[in-house]
Amino acid sequence: MPIIVNLDVMMAKRKMSLNELSEKVDLTLANLSILKTGKAKAVRFSTLEAICKALNCQPGDILEYQEEASQT
């Protein structure tokens, strides 16, 4: 998938655990883990806003676009 989730990088920079972030953004550990591993198919703007607020970062710090390698 060309969208890369760098949530684990931002959490490490802020020295915040998954449990702590889960409590701050009021999201279950399971759902946050799905997002962190890049397996989520979608993310609500309200969730993204809460994560950015808790981690004091911008959406671009968490989400990154990378083109897929062409298969020829």
Give the CATH H-level superfamily of domain 3-65.
Answer: lambda repressor-like DNA-binding domains (1.10.260.40)
Asked if residue 52 lies in contact with residue 58, where contact means CB atoms within 8 angstroms, the answer is yes
DSSP letter, residue 3? E
Q: What percent of the chain has pLDDT over 90?
A: 88
Of 7, 37, 38, 40, residue with least CA distance to 24: 7
Report the pLDDT averaged over residues 37-66: 95
**pTM, whole model, 2 decimals?**
0.87
DSSP letter, residue 67? P
Domains in the chain: boundaries: 3-65
* pLDDT surpassing 90 at residue 71: no
Average pLDDT, the chain: 93
Distance CA 49, CA 43 (A): 10
